[in-house]
Amino acid sequence: MKLALVLPGGVDRSGEYKVIPVFLALIERLARTHELHVFVLHQEAAPARWEMLGAHIHNIGEGRTRLRAIAAIRAEHRCAPFDLVQAMFSGSCSLIAVTAAKLLRVRSAVHIAGGELVSLREIGYGGRRKWKGRLREALILRSTDMITAASNPIIDSLQALGLEARRVPLGVDLRTWTPMAPRTRKTGPAQLLHVASLNRVKDQSTLLHALAAVAEAGVAFRMDIVGVDTLNGEIEALAHRLNLQRHVRFLGFKTQHELRPIMESADLLVMSSMHEAGPLVLLEAAAVGVPTVGTAVGHMAEWSPSAALAVPVGDSAGIALAIQRVLADEDLRLRLAVEAQRRAVMEDADYTARMFDALYGRLCQA
């Protein structure tokens, strides 16, 4: 089968920087059995092509990106026909994929992987904030042949819009995240971890207020925060105002290989997102035996209360109480870790590729 995969980015030539690891894992697996062409919109400013993980990468670049992406897909189709065009993320990616598929008279599929279905006006986030976005999503998602999403909360959002979708979790590569049995806590301060770009939707402000409450309760802990700062030092300044300097370290961006030992040393992952389709980091933590406390979005909502503890979005007091509860009950922490690992291993990157492969087969035979 010849497949076209449309991505916004995440496939840098380095394989480590400016990449989305879960997409690399999927690309590698699909390319084993299919001729895979990845049309990436904004990886580099200028048009370019390269080979990666057995796939052909077509970087579209800046300037009339949508039109040139559709033209690039049609040009490759003339060399040998595509069987299916897949968009990872809706928005521009799905518009390109579905339009190209209609022009070529082949099947299309869209995977909801971000904030396409939400409207968080207070932070300027989400694909449904403006009428143009709502209209585009309505037209595109009703025109495609198949919609998938990573978690049940996203499936529920699609059903509320009258759209049928299938759950296909984007699993971790267990070669990079080789499972480790959950471990009992060492003596001394608890080691907490947060992994996400510093931005509004990840809501690190709520996270820090939760940590301040944990510190005020007399709990000994250290928190490592891993991720690119997109807020020009705002979150680090808030940590100083909350007197968290002794408790919190900002480590910046880390590659997957650099992140793994940090993850392995953690007792608990803490996430505070206002919206997630996943997040992938929860699965990475689960694979190495680390449980998660977080807000009730994505997999955290799915897994709570047996494989994670989830509280309402924006509830710093709830996050603080959940952290204290898990740190005070080692049996609970280990039970959460064991069940989380079972789920992450069961729905790993190989599982994701098999799911997509089976759906593509059925779709193209229909």
Same domain for 194 and 134, yes or no, is: no
Per the CB < 8 A criterion, the answer to whether 201 and 275 are in contact is yes
pLDDT at 366 over 80: no
Q: Is residue 178 part of a domain?
A: no
Same domain for 203 and 297, yes or no, is: yes
Q: DSSP of 175-215, one letter per residue? A: TTS------PPPSSSEEEEEES-BSTTTTHHHHHHHHHHHH
Are 279 and 321 part of one and the same domain?
Answer: yes
Residue-wise over 267-288: b if at least 16 C-beta within 10 A, else e? bbbbbbbbbbbbbbbbbbbbbb
- For residues 355 and 321, state if they share a domain: no
- How far apart (Å, rounded) are the C-alpha atoms in residues 269 and 201? 17
Q: Are residues 94 and 113 in the same domain?
A: yes
Average pLDDT over residues 128-134: 82
Read off the amino acid at residue 273: S
In a domain, 185, yes or no: no
Q: How confident is the model at residue 136 (pLDDT cuts 50, 70, 90)?
A: confident
* Residues 338, 355 within the same domain: no
**Residue-level pLDDT at 114:** 85
Quote the pLDDT of residue 311. Answer: 98
How much is the pLDDT for 129? 85
pLDDT exceeds 90 at position 234: yes
Residues 155 and 217 reside in one and the same domain: no
Using 50, 70 and 90 to split pLDDT, how confident is the model at 260? very high
Residue with the two structure tokens 């590659």: 255
Q: Residue 352 domain-assigned? A: yes
Q: Sorting pLDDT into bands at 50, 70 and 90, what band is 133?
A: confident
Residue 132 has what pLDDT? Answer: 80
E strand or H helix that includes residue 357: helix 349-365
Provide the residue range defining the domain that includes 42. 2-171+348-365
Report the CATH number at residue 261.
3.40.50.2000
Amino acid at 251: L
Q: How many residues are given for the chain?
A: 366
Which amino acid is residue 241, in one-letter code? R
Q: Which amino acid appears at position 182 of this protein?
A: P
Q: What is the mean pLDDT of the chain?
A: 95
In this structure, are 324 and 361 located in the same domain?
no
The order of strands in the sheet holding 55-59 is 48-52, 55-59, 35-40, 2-7, 84-88, 107-112, 146-149, 166-167
Give pLDDT, residue 158: 92
Q: Answer yes or no: do 92 and 207 share one domain.
A: no
**Is 238 found in the same domain as 97?**
no
pLDDT tens digits, residue range 198-230? 999 999 999 999 999 999 999 999 999 999 999
Does residue 231 have a pLDDT over 90? yes
Q: How many domains does the chain have?
A: 2
Determine the pLDDT at residue 224.
Answer: 98
pLDDT digits (tens, 9 = 90+) for 55-73: 999 999 999 999 999 999 9
What does the pLDDT average to over 134-159? 92
Share of the chain above pLDDT 70, in %: 100
Residues 43 and 97 in one domain: yes
pLDDT exceeds cutoff 90 at 115: no
**φ, ψ of residue 229 in degrees (nearest 5):** -85, 110
Q: What is the pLDDT of residues 175-193, one digit of tens each?
A: 999 999 999 998 999 999 9
Pairing of strands 268-270, 48-52: unpaired
Q: 131: pLDDT confidence band, cut at 50, 70 and 90?
A: confident
List, for residues 11-39, the tens digit of each pLDDT value: 999 999 999 999 999 999 999 999 999 99
- Render pLDDT for 306-334 as a digit per residue (tens, 0 to 9): 999 999 999 999 999 999 999 999 999 99
Using pLDDT thresholds of 50, 70 and 90, give the confidence band for residue 365.
confident
The pLDDT of residue 127:
81
The answer to whether residue 180 sits within a structural domain is no
Residue 119 lies in a domain: yes
Do 134 and 217 lie in one domain? The reply is no
Q: Does the pLDDT at position 137 exceed 90?
A: no
Helical packing angle, 316-328 and 204-216, nearest 10° = 50
